[in-house]
Amino acid sequence: MMKKIKDYQNKKVLVLGLAKSGVSAAKLLHELGALVTVNDGKPFEENPEAQDLLTLGIKVITGSHPIELMDEGFALVVKNPGIPYSNPLIEKALALHIPVLTEVELAYQIADCPIIGITGTNGKTTTTTMIGLLLNADRKAGQARLAGNIGFPASSVAQEATAEDEMVMELSSFQLMGIDTFHPKIALITNLYEAHLDYHGSRKEYLKAKWRIQKNMMSEDILILNWNQEESRVLAKKTNATVLPFSTETVVEEGTYLKDGWMYYKNEAIMESKDLGVPGKHNIENALAAILVAKLHGLSNETIKETLTHFHGVPHRTQFTGEIEGRKFYNDSKATNILAAEMALSGFNRSKLILLAGGLDRGNTFDELIPSLVGVKAMIVFGETKSKLKEAANKAGIKVIHETENAETAVPLAFSLSEHGDSILLSPANASWDQYPNFEVRGNKFMDAVKKLKIK
């Protein structure tokens, strides 16, 4: 079980921001003998997590972030990944040279098993899920445990993991900014595009955060990179780790690649890309990265093919929802930006596709989406951005464009516009917060509406 480290005994530690990972970090530090103070913005009476921590004897300060907290002589601050470094408490901590970490660092310090770390702009969750499924197929001892940004706090999973397990950890740029000794045996960067610039300030800073995943790796460790991207090929020269490539564009014989519709590892044909249970070129990239991890673990080609053929996607990410009278429905509610929607659209025959899109207006136009919309059979728009999307659809030459109230009302309308052999795809290209608490609720409402169609 977990390593009982002594580093935090009787040390004063501040946990900033609760949510799942903050609660997990506070409980772990408390168990390791630290003198824990928790600070969260939500008022105490509306904060069941804070109430729960108080019963354990953890000091709890809620409702605001008093700057004088930093005068208490903390040895360490563990912050929620979403809290920016411009937060006054964090700025003060850094000015006082107090280390500021995220809980994935704590997870590494106590983990009794190897860690596989996965980061990148897109495809992290899908690739992490594929790797977890592959490494648990035919496994003789222990299990591959999913952790991190995928929804299971790393510091909780690390407490349960045994030496025979592995942690398959999805890591965001925010989490990676708060690591120090974190050292995965295998690290994987799915791809690098521009994202979260409001948090990082520039593309350069964002990439720097992602690249931290390999900072403690050595030559016996493996770093898997996307050879389609020139940026990755340049970065490959700047690491101590052993680099293995994957590519859908060139034959990279030391890694995994696509050739004549087949996915290869070294010179071995593993499976045809059309047999993948999830559509789209981006999912071929995700699968090639996952296959590379599977082959490093000695998995047979049969097991890999069997597992990836039956994998139908993570919830809300181009998730096959069902078929009604020859129309296939897909829920890609997790496409909260243009790039994610473009990735989804690349996996479909557009002449037989009805696209459902719309959501929160963040002030951007949809000009970048236009090339991906060309040839789409029909489009249904909703939410705050519906008129902007309608304009993009018109520019793309889509003949059939309808407005509707929301993702649910779009379903029967899409069905009425469709024919046998068509696909109906919810890929909003927008955040959900204008109408829904989160993308999961939006996706579930869409799937409920599909079920209602089936019942009729």
Dmax (CA) of the chain: 68
**What residues are paired with 403 via a beta bridge?**
381
**Three-class SS of 87-112:** CHHHHHHHHCCCCEECHHHHHHHHCC
Strands (E) located in 12-154? 12-16, 35-40, 59-62, 76-79, 100-101, 115-119, 144-148
Is 352 known to sit in a ligand binding site? Answer: no
Task: Give the integer Cα–Cα distance in Å for 327 and 352.
Answer: 10
**Three-class SS of 382-405:** ECCCHHHHHHHHHHCCCCEEEECC
Alpha-carbon dihedral sign for residues 187, 188, 192, 195? negative
| Measured torsion, CA atoms of residues 308, 309, 315, 320, in degrees rounded to the nearest 10 | 160
Is 123 known to sit in a ligand binding site? Answer: yes
Is 120 known to sit in a ligand binding site? Answer: yes
Q: Of 178, 214, 174, whose CA–CA distance to 196 is shortest?
A: 174
Token pair 């990676």 is found at 176
Is 385 known to sit in a ligand binding site? Answer: no
Task: Specify the amino acid at residue 61.
Answer: I
Q: Are 286 and 130 in contact (CB under 8 A)?
A: yes
Token pair 């109408």 is found at 435
3-class state of residue 425 by DSSP:
strand
Which H/E stretch holds residue 358? strand 353-358
Task: Specify the amino acid at residue 162.
Answer: T
The tokens describing 159, both together, are 């407490």
Is 121 known to sit in a ligand binding site? Answer: yes
Q: What one-character DSSP code corresponds to residue 161?
A: -
Q: Are 418 and 327 in contact (CB under 8 A)?
A: yes
DSSP notation for 221-250: SEEEEETT-HHHHHHGGG-SSEEEEEESSS
| Measured torsion, CA atoms of residues 437, 176, 172, 51, in degrees rounded to the nearest 10 | -30
The tokens describing 302, both together, are 């049969």
Torsions phi, psi for 191 (to 5 deg):
-175, 165
Binding site residues for ATP, as ranges?
120-126
Which positions make up the binding site? Answer: 120-126
